Amino acid sequence: MAPSTLPPLPPLPVGQISPPYVDGDGAWHQGGLTLTPEVNRVVDEFLSRLEEAAHGSTGDSSGDSSETAGIRSRLRELARDIPGVRFEDPAHELEPADRIKQELAERLAAENGLDPLRALREIPDAIRYTVSVPTGDYTADVRELQSRLAAAGYEPVELRNGWLDGGEDRTGITARWREPETGVIFGVEYHTPESWQAQAARNAFEHANDQQIPQGERESPAPPRGEHLRPVETPRGVEEITDVR
């Protein structure tokens, strides 16, 4: 694939949004965004259930020691016998709490009367798993794993085939599913090893230059600006996987 000429990235914003904090009454604040104490408490309870849905549970305070498998372990089991499948970036399976609160605060400010819990359940990337699949088997293996997820009882919500978007910085397939017991939506991103390397470089670049992240928490040094724009091979037959929205 011959590389194309891409426009330069826009300049980074000047300044940095003040870090989030919780006041003495329990309200959450960041910049001009606010969650009331009641809504912030709803979010914290939701985040606890979200982590349990993702990672499973090992019993409760009543003495019940039974273990419940989470989405992560179930997904890994479904993919266990597919050769070459790798789970990437496990440290970022869960969206950071303050990012979820920021997104919720923005939606509540824009939509009067929106139910906070409903809005939380609709956040698309609160749980996200990244899977890399060998390029030669990509299309067949993505279809197989999608079929196994459906057979396991997960409900399909959306599928976006980034390989069809035409931009070299938009590769991979993102499928979103609903966990039927909790109603939580989770995403599965399918990459080839090469497209994952490009995406990881892009993520690192954006994280290192994100003005909403305190300077001490950003990755350093920032990766080269053009690293994530390197062209990658498009898997054969991937155009047969169409968007579902």
Of the listed ranges 135-139, 196-200, 210-214, the least confidently predicted one is 210-214
pLDDT (tens digit, 9 = 90+) per residue, 215-237? Answer: 555 455 555 545 555 678 899 99
pLDDT one-digit tens code per residue, 183-194? 889 999 999 999
Helix, strand or coil, per DSSP, at residue 6: coil
Residue among 211, 206, 216 at smallest CA distance from 31: 211
Please enumerate in sequence order all residues whose Cβ is within 8 A of that of 130, keeping only pairs 6 or more positions apart, or say none: 87, 88, 89, 188, 189, 191, 196
pLDDT-derived band at 4 (thresholds 50, 70, 90) equals: very low
Percent of the chain with pLDDT over 90: 58
- Who wins on pLDDT, 84 or 4? 84
Q: How far is CA 221 from CA 96, 199, 202, 216, in A?
A: 21, 17, 13, 12
**What per-residue string of b and e applies to 117-129 under the rule 16 or more CB within 10 Å gives b?**
eebbbebebbbbb
SS3 state of residue 29: strand
Residue positions counted in the chain: 245
Q: Give the sign of the dihedral formed by CA 42, CA 158, CA 93, CA 110.
A: negative
Mean pLDDT value of segment 31-60: 90
Residue listed under structure tokens 């724009």: 229
Predicted pLDDT of residue 6: 39
pTM for this entry: 0.77
Each residue's pLDDT tens digit, 141-183 = 999 999 999 999 999 999 999 998 765 556 899 999 999 988 8
pLDDT tens digits along 27-45: 999 989 999 999 999 999 9
DSSP state, residue 107:
H
Going by C-alpha positions, the residue among 153, 222, 202 that lies closest to residue 181 is 153
Write the DSSP symbol of residue 74: H
Residue 53 tokens read as 């849905």
Q: What percent of the chain has pLDDT over 70?
A: 76
Radius of gyration, CA atoms only, the chain: 20
**Confidence band for 17, pLDDT divided at 50, 70 and 90:** low
77 contact partners, CB below 8 Å, separation of at least 6: 69
**β strands within the chain, DSSP E:** 21-22, 28-30, 33-35, 86-88, 127-132, 155-161, 173-178, 185-191
Ramachandran region, residue 125 (left: φ > 0; alpha: ψ -120 to 50; beta: rest): alpha
pLDDT for 123: 87
